[in-house]
Structure 1
Amino acid sequence: MTIELLKELSHRLNFTYELIHPPDGKWGVASSDNIWNGMLGQLQRREVDLVAAPLIIDAHRETVADFTQPYFHEKSGIIIKKPVQSHSTKLVDPLNPMVYLCVGISLPVITFLLFLFEKYNPFYRQVAGRMKIRGLHHFSDAFWYMYGALLCQGGEHVAASSAGRTLLSCWWIFCIIIVTTYSGNFVAFLTVTKETLPFNDVEGLVAQTTYKWGTAGETVFETILKNSELPERRKLWNGILEFNQSDPSVLSSDPAEQIRKVRGGNYAFIGERTYLDMAIGQSCDMSIISTDDFHPLLIALPLPNNTPFLKVFSDEIVAIIETGLIQTWMLKTWPKPEHCEETSISDAKSISVSDFQFAFYLTGIGVMLAVLSLIYEYIERTCYRWVDTHGRRQNEQKKITAFKEI
């Protein structure tokens, strides 16, 4: 695309050109005494009048070159090899661990309440030898019934009291909500490609200890990291310097070498997003982590400092951009990014406790209603006994009165 732009500029501005390569084959970085190598060094020494290469605008580069109006906005990214996904946890992935904890706590608590409601309920006082009969008034039977409800099976014993039935009805609704949600999300986890990356940004990269990282040496990324005062960029650069002592290839200027290191595993390469997209290829063995806020990568043509042609070139570049020729050249000359055979879909989401709020609230409502039902049954049974006792006393008084009259 840059060469197409150069051809169009030469046609519009009526100039000829001769293409030459930098002797050292580098883009250009500065030494400690501000002597630049590569293409920018040629500009600094006035050996060339224009650099026709996709160079990124940077404040340090502007000390030796004047950049035209940018003609392309590039993004940066971090590419790593896809971590091997574990299949051993798929059975528990559909629900958040906190959900399993809350359900595990709810089961014995509700079981104990059901056991109390059934054992000490006055509703069963007329049943002779009840403790010798198996039922929900035994804790073990109550537990296995409640556990069976979680599996949508239930048990052979059924509550007869209003308090027990009220609690069980709410528990059954709770179990149905839990089971159906788990089943639906489990299907999603089996059919959706879940890709969990070890980090999601630059801060995560420098915080972990498993991956080494690097960038293409003699490029703008080295210039940015070397001269930045931002803490995370300083950590990035210090890490590269540390890794470079044992492995100089972390600053290799050959992007292909960097990609080979990425495919070797436990290595992250920081580079231009367009190249990274094309490097993934058909095998889909790598993933890109976007770093859009890392640094604005504006690509422009550099000219020597204080050149009188800067405005002329910038105006023509703006005119070319407005005609849409840049997009046309991109579609025509850029290689198409290859699509993975297995396209990664959005991650399946684990269901958290907040998603089950209503179900847990319903269980609490069931407990309160069961307590109210138990109180009602106590009152009803007490009133019945009072009426029955009062009626017997009246009958006895009538018999005594009748006997006296005789």
Structure 2
Amino acid sequence: MKCFSAPCSVIPFDPLTCYVRPERRVTVARVLEGRVGDRVASAESGGRSVKLAEFLVKAISPSYLYLVIDHEWPGSTAAVRESWRAWVGTVVIPCHSKLDILEAALRATNHLGTTRHAMLFCSSQRTLEIFKMVRERSLESSTLQWVVALEGGDLMPALGHVLREGTQVTLFVRDLADVRHHVVWSSYIDPSDTIQFERRGAWRAEDEDQDDVSLDGWLFPDLNRFYQDFRGRQLVAAVLNNWPFFGLRYLPDGGAVADSGLDVSVLDALSSSLNFTYTVKEPSDGQWGGPQPDGAITGIIGMVASHQAHLAINEITITASRERVVDFTLPYFLESTILVSRAPAPKSRAFAIFYPFSPLVGVLQAGLPVPSYTNRVKLQVFQELAVNRTGHLQIKMLNAIKLQLQGMSQIQIHLNFRSPFGSWQIWGLLAASTGLMGPIVWVVAAVLRSISEHRDKLDLYSLKTKVAHISLQESAFNMYGSLLRQENMIQVNRWSLRILFFLWYIFCNIIYAIYSGTLTAYLAIPSFEQPIDSLNDLLEATQDGYVPLFLVGSSNEFLFKAASSGIFHQVWKAHDPSSSFSYTIDDAMDMINYAPLWQVLEGKRVFVNARLGSLIRATIRGRHKFYLARQTMYPQGYAIVCRSGAPYKRNFEKMLIRMTELGLVDKWTQDQVTKVPRASGSEGHKTRLRAPEAITLHHLQGAFYIMSLGFLLATMVLLGEICGYNCLTCEP
């Protein structure tokens, strides 16, 4: 295995890197047959081919060059030698080699942002086969420019049918009448969406070292300038009926036209600025779609990848899997993903009397989420992403939209508790304190009575009359009555008992004030079930029968499905294949609160979806019926999908950046928000806290439960006493 040291020789070996000079390297792809230099040494007399090869390398000044050459072409060595002199990274591939080698070489450098050139010096039949391979394997690229040398122009019509937009080709067609004369043609797309060739000049090889060149501009057209004006061309846009982003209006003949939405405004602005018209087309499966494990590409992504549409726009999230089959512009809209569930149901008031001493989890459903360190970090990442990808922040706009939408709904205070029976430590201490206070008073009184009996000189007549005859049961009952603000029947004239009663009265007043005030607040303001605010809450809720809900073919489905570990993977494992998927956002929002009669998961679904669309649809259906989680996740950017290698992508990006910088995207978004209709059941809702409710039997059911329990217990004790009395009085 060797590396060539001279630019005019090519030695066969497996692909590797050979350093011709320390500063420059030439990569030679696998050459399957013999030493090319030996075979073409006798053909170097073809000076015209040599001069053409030298001219092309000098004219295009490539930074990276692919030479696809025929063994018998006289200019092969000249092309390699000239690229070596120009210090150009060159890949030499014989025309007869497998097309897979050329495909691998093209894909290996496809990520480079610099312009690459490929020179084809092959037979007409092989040239046509190469461009068919480029079409079938979607190797179009706006950074790859092809130069083809042809013998005569018979191949041009067939080549025009094979080429697709994104493959830029310049032809040097030799004039059969004058072999020194070459006509230069360049491909372009005409308004009828077909590939045509435009004559750009001529090249003629002279006997001297100088060439006669007459070109109308450059060998390759300036694509940025060319696509500044589409000349009235009609494009096909793949969309879904998904207002507020892209709403469709259906015609009587079954067709559809763009109606209103944020993305409609964006596309209208692009068409007006770049002078093109568009028609809309929906995918047959009704999905956003993307690459599938079986190799198929579904949805509107598949329509663009298969060249059924020129672009796709409709709340389309940029994902790594989709970028492998289509090209995305820079994002023009940023938002995050949230969890949407049914509104927490009011908690039962049966045990409201225990709530004042319960561990409280309070949630104020207002304009902005409760600030936390996690949310601040996510917001910072969200802002940095917006700056890096579009150069424009949209955070203020998103907050304003959220406030405006939530202004249509009623702000509620959600009071949630881990246990309706409260903290057993507090209730245990209260019971123990009340139970011990009676015996303590009884013991102190007994001690005082014992002292008076042994000291006749002390006047304890009053003490004996007031305390001596109080039993333990009476003492305990009076202490319990003091806790409930009842009058204490025990009267004392000794300071030891007075101090004990004084401290007990203070303790009872504090407990009574705290309990009664807090209980009044709980009875007046409704309490609700624990809401689902994060993915961890969703995992806990799955134990109660909740399941996550995804849109079929959406980026969220692909994201959770592709996760192999972590919280996303755990959530995906909890999904139910029969009830965790919906084809439209509207159906998903309806499934959150309602379900068919044959399903038992009514209200047991948590929708994973983007925030803006969910918030608008919740407002339309009644904001009070839904709960939007406070924690957000997975910031996602929406972009326009273009065909792989689409040359007009850069012009789209320039216009999108200009729109965002001018604030047009923000304005169009808020224009759609103002169109949001209110639900009939929430017209009277105001953005203020709910006024305290009047106390009803529903609030006091706990007190009646206790009274009923007391009656039952007293009845049982009475029956026991009667039975005991009968047993004692009955004769043997």
TM-score for the superposition, normalised by structure 1: 0.74
Letter in 2 for 1:46: H
Instruction: Name 1:112's counterpart in structure 2.
Output: 439
Contact 1:79 1:276 in 2 (8 A): yes
- 1:93 alignment counterpart: 355
Matched, 1:250 2:580: yes
Write the mapping of 1:239-318 to structure 2, written as runs, cut at 5 A. Answer: 239-240=574-575, 243-244=576-577, 247=578, 249-264=579-594, 265=602, 266-280=604-618, 281-282=621-622, 284-293=624-633, 295-318=634-657
* Cα pair 2:286 2:583 within 8 Å, conserved: no
Q: Does 1:336 align with 2:676?
A: yes
Is 1:16 the counterpart of 2:346? The answer is no
Q: Which structure's residues are more often helix, by fraction?
A: 1
Q: Look up the match of 2:571.
A: 236
Higher relative contact order (CA 8 A, sep 6+): 1
- Report the counterpart of residue 118 of structure 2 in structure 1: none
State the 1:223 CA deviation: 0.7
Shift of 1:28: 1.0
1:259-280 deviation line (CA, Å, top 9, x unaligned) = 3322232222222222332333
Describe the shift of the 1:123–1:168 C-alpha distance in structure 2 as closer, same or farther (beyond 3 A).
Answer: farther
Mapped pair 1:78 → 2:339? yes
Identity of paired residues, percent? 21
Aligned to 1:36: 297
Preserved contact between residue 346 and residue 528 of structure 2 (Cα < 8 Å): no
- Kindly indicate whether the alpha-carbon contact (under 8 Å) linking 1:57 and 1:67 is maintained by their aligned counterparts in 2: yes
> Within 2, Cα distance between the matches of 1:35 and 1:135?
95
Structure 1 stretches lacking a partner, 5+ long: 349-406
How many angstroms apart in 2 are the aligned matches of 1:28 and 1:116? 82
3-state SS of paired residue (1:73)? strand
Which amino acid in the other structure matches residue 548 of structure 2?
A: W
Structure 2 residue aligned with 1:361? none
Deviations 1:41-92 (A, max 9, x none): 1222233222121111222222223322222222322233343521212222
| Residues 333-353 of structure 1: per-residue CA shift (max 9 Å, x gap) | 23437474567969x9xxxxx
In 1, are the aligned partners of 2:287 and 2:552 still within 8 Å (CA)? no
Q: Secondary structure at the match of 2:354?
A: coil
Q: What is the CA–CA distance in structure 2 between the aligned matches of 1:234 and 1:206, rounded to whole Å? A: 11
Residue of structure 1 in register with 2:561 after alignment? 226
Compared CA separation, residues 121 and 135, structure 1 to 2 (3 A):
closer
Q: Which residue is 2:128 aligned to?
A: none
SS of corresponding position for 1:165: helix
Letter of the structure 2 residue corresponding to residue 292 of structure 1: T
Amino acid at match of 1:5: V
Question: How far apart, in 2, do the equivalents of 1:328 and 1:198 lie?
Answer: 33
Q: How many Å separate the matches in 1 of 2:606 and 2:441?
A: 57
Q: Which has the higher strand share?
A: 2
Give the one of 46, 70, 86 matched to 2:307. Answer: 46
Q: 8 Å contact 1:80–1:268 — kept in the other structure?
A: yes
Contact 1:118 1:161 in 2 (8 A): no
- Equivalent in the alignment of 1:59: 320
Residues 441 and 475 in structure 2, CA contact (< 8 A), matched pair in contact too:
yes
Over 3 Å counting, the alpha-carbon distance change for 1:30 and 1:136 in structure 2 is farther
Distance 2:468 2:685 in 1: 54
**CA shift digits 1:132-167 (9 cap, x unpaired):** 755696432332222122111231213432232222
**Which runs of 5 or more residues in structure 2 are unaligned?**
1-261, 359-421, 453-458, 595-601, 693-732
Kept in 2: contact 1:119–1:137 (CA 8 A): no
Task: Give the drift of 1:215.
Answer: 1.1
Indicate how the Cα distance of structure 1 residues 103 and 45 shifts in structure 2: closer, same or farther if over 3 A, else same. Answer: same
Cα separation, partners in 2 of 1:132 and 1:174, compared to 1, 3 Å: closer
**AA aligned opposite 2:661:** E
Query: Structure 1, residues 205-255: CA drift from partner, whole Å, max 9, x if none?
Result: 223322233211111111111111233222222222xx21xx2x4222122
- CA distance 1:122–1:131, change in 2 (3 Å): closer
Structure whose alpha-carbon radius of gyration is higher: 2
Q: TM-score, normalised by structure 2?
A: 0.43
CA contact (8 A) 1:112 1:139 kept: yes
How far residue 27 of structure 1 moved from its aligned partner, in angstroms, is 1.0
Tell me the secondary structure at the aligned position of residue 269 of structure 1.
strand
* Structure 1 pair 342–88 and aligned structure 2 pair: CA distance change class (3 A): farther
Is 1:153 aligned with 2:491? no
| Cα distance between partner residues in 2 of 1:177 and 1:315 | 69
Deviation of 1:130 (Å): 5.7
Go from structure 1 to structure 2 and tell me whether the alpha carbon gap of 1:21 and 1:116 turns closer, same or farther (over 3 Å shift). same
How many Å separate the matches in 2 of 1:286 and 1:158?
A: 60
What is the rounded CA distance, in whole Å, between the counterparts of 2:666 and 2:654 in structure 1?
Answer: 18
CA RMSD of aligned residues (A): 3.0
Q: Distance in 2 between matches of 1:61 and 1:108?
A: 71
For 2:251, the equivalent position in structure 1 comes to none
Report the equivalent of 1:320: 659
**2:281 partner SS:** coil
Q: Residue 283 and residue 73 in structure 1: after superposition, are their counterparts in 2 closer, same or farther (change >3 A)?
A: closer
The count of corresponding residues between Structure 1 and Structure 2 is 341
